[in-house]
Amino acid sequence: MAIAYIALGSNLGDKKKNLQRALMLLMQQGVEVLQVSGYFATEPYGVTDQPQFLNAVCRVRTNLEPLALLHTLLATELAMGRVRLRHWGERNIDLDLLLYENVVMQTPELTLPHPDMQNRDFVLLPLLDIAPELVHPLLHKTVREMAAALNK
């Protein structure tokens, strides 16, 4: 069994219900949700002409390997009707695998840890809520340190 961290985001429809439904669907697929951060309203990242997001991060336990967990996240998005109209655009649900144990990997499909997590307040704020002392396996900084650096 492995511990992983997943970012959840929504900026279309009932955002809070979208996040809660995604968590429920993950649990139905055998992903054990151990902890969920508070919900954080954040400004869009990258493409700014869209509604505010509601974001959270969850800590999960799974027997799935990293790529299988990624496929489960993508299947959950699909089951919820996610449509990819534009890169970083509006979406009813977005699930990103941030960290999987201390695994460092880069494939065409998946990069771990998530390559841009240290630059995203919508990831670091919820992560700070549940795992402030978690250490990034490449940067060797805690979530608290990354969040402080981002807010300077």
Which one from 14, 59, 61, 91 is the annotated catalytic residue?
A: 91
Tell me whether residue 94 is one of the annotated catalytic residues: yes
Tell me whether residue 59 is one of the annotated catalytic residues: no
Distance between CA 74 and CA 68 in Å, rounded?
Answer: 10
Distance between CA 113 and CA 143 in Å, rounded?
Answer: 13
Which one from 21, 49, 84, 96 is the annotated catalytic residue?
A: 96
Which one from 21, 59, 61, 94 is the annotated catalytic residue?
A: 94
Tell me whether residue 21 is one of the annotated catalytic residues: no
Tell me whether residue 82 is one of the annotated catalytic residues: yes
CA distance between the termini of the chain: 37
User: Which residue in 118, 114, 82, 76 sits closest to 97, CA to CA?
Assistant: 114
Which one from 49, 61, 82, 120 is the annotated catalytic residue?
A: 82
Side-chain half-sphere CA neighbours of 151 within 13 A: 12
Side-chain half-sphere CA neighbours of 141 within 13 A: 14
Q: Which residues are catalytic?
A: 82, 91, 94, 96
